[in-house]
């Protein structure tokens, strides 16, 4: 029997706020450090390859936001799905997907994770629970709710982690989705990555005329955008992987228990421009350098590890291992052949 999806909660009891001192063992710190470093080095390499002309079209880097994808991945369970926008290489790496086919996809090669047809914005890996990679701002949100509907329909306690940007948070389809998600009590966590004005101003003005939060949306606190749909939400320090995982675990517990959707607004900062075409001249350079020295997500974890008596040598070794993975991914991608012409229509057009 399919579940009865019609009844919303009458009086929701919202969960208590996340802990100001999230639990995180030295082992957790090590794992987070390694995963965030892998994203950072991978993205730096992608930026270089773009500059050298090996990557064509768009390329949106995730540098600065590593703690969000990593903290969520640490809260994720097998069977949960992930869906994101076009800035998603980091989410895929955090989900444990091999760096080689991701890099090959960026280069449009046959060995790419979407056979070279998805490119930088449309990578898919459903075998890893990863459902894209979406270039239309906000398009992943209703699809994410659909994945959550599948979870409810099939039973079990899987949740869908649906990532979106602060710009996407003002899209109409997001609100239709929130309404349905409450009505059907869908286990979907809307993870809004608010990269703040400094990093966000560019494209939102140039491409859509929306600007950063405050000029394109009405409520600066995006975690409260679901209030009229009875969706609880928290603002989270998205530069601290501990805080991200802690909030994610609590939100997921709420959704897994059948209470419906949840919003996590991650306060984060993207260090690069919107895409490789954007030199980010609107960012106040000196301020940004000072701020990043204080709150860089990788440096924060490094300091905590050193305080836990982890040696500089061990951290250097992690960095070396990560660089080797990225160099291997780069060589793999550069050596991989281009797709053959016959590949063009495979797995794109379906005979109905």
Ligand X SMILES: Cc1ncc(C[n+]2csc(CCOP(=O)(O)OP(=O)(O)O)c2C)c(N)n1
User: Which residue ranges make up the site for ligand X (CB under 6 A)?
Assistant: 87, 135-137, 165-168, 195, 200, 203-204, 207-208, 274
Supply the minimum distance, in Å, between the C-beta of residue 136 and ligand X.
Answer: 5
Torsion of CA 104, 105, 108, 114, to 10 degrees: 130
Provide the sign of the torsion angle of the four alpha carbons 264, 265, 269, 270, taken in this order.
positive
Taking the least distance from each CB to ligand X, the nearer of 45 and 274 is 274
Of residues 53 and 209, the one with the C-beta less far from ligand X = 209
Beta carbon of residue 193, minimum distance to ligand X (angstroms, whole number)? 6
Nearest CB to ligand X, comparing residues 81 and 210: 210
How many helices, marked H, and strands, marked E, lie in the chain? Answer: 11, 5
Nearest 5°: the CA angle 127, 154, 181 is 95
Residues 21, 122: Cα–Cα separation, whole Å: 37
- Name the residue with tokens 């090959």: 104
β pairing state of 81-83 and 233-237: unpaired
Residue (108 or 138) nearer to ligand X, CB: 138
CA 7-169-234 angle, 5° bins: 70
Measured from the CB atom, the residue of 22 and 238 that comes closer to ligand X is: 238
Minimum distance, C-beta of residue 345 to ligand X, in the bound complex (Å): 24
Between helix 241-254 and helix 297-307 the angle, nearest 10°, is 100
CB of 196 to ligand X, least distance (A): 10
Minimum Å distance from CB 208 to ligand X?
A: 3
């Amino acid at each position: 029997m399919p579940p009865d999806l019609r009844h919303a909660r009458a009086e929701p009891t919202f969960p208590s706020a996340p802990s100001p001192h999230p639990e995180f063992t030295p082992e957790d710190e090590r794992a987070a450090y390694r995963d965030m470093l892998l994203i950072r080095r991978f993205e730096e390499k992608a930026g270089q390859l773009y500059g050298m002309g090996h990557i064509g079209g768009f390329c949106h880097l995730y540098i600065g936001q590593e703690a969000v994808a990593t903290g969520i991945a640490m809260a994720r369970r097998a069977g949960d799905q992930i869906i994101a926008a076009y800035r998603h290489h980091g989410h895929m790496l955090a989900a444990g997907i091999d760096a080689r086919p991701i890099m090959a996809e960026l280069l449009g090669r046959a060995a790419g994770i979407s056979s070279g047809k998805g490119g930088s914005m449309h990578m898919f890996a459903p075998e890893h629970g990863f459902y894209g990679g979406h270039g239309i701002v906000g398009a992943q949100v209703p699809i994410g709710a659909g994945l959550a509907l599948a979870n409810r329909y099939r039973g079990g306690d899987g949740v869908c982690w649906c990532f979106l940007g602060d710009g996407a948070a003002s899209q109409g389809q997001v609100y239709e989705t929130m309404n349905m998600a409450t009505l059907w009590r869908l286990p979907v966590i809307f993870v809004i990555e608010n990269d703040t004005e400094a990093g966000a101003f560019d494209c939102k003005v140039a491409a859509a005329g929306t600007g950063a939060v405050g000029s394109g949306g009405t409520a600066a606190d995006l975690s409260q955008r679901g209030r009229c749909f009875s969706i609880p939400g928290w603002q989270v320090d998205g530069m601290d992987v501990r805080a991200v995982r802690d909030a994610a675990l609590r939100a997921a517990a709420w959704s897994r228990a059948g209470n419906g959707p949840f919003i996590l607004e991650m306060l984060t900062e993207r260090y690069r421009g919107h895409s490789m075409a954007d030199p980010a001249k609107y960012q106040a350079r000196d301020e940004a350098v000072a701020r990043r020295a204080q709150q860089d997500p990788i440096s924060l974890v490094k300091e905590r590890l050193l305080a836990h008596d982890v040696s500089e040598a061990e951290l250097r070794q992690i960095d070396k291992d990560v660089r080797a993975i990225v160099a291997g991914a780069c060589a793999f991608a550069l050596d991989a052949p281009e797709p053959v012409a016959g590949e063009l229509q495979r797995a794109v057009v379906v005979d109905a």
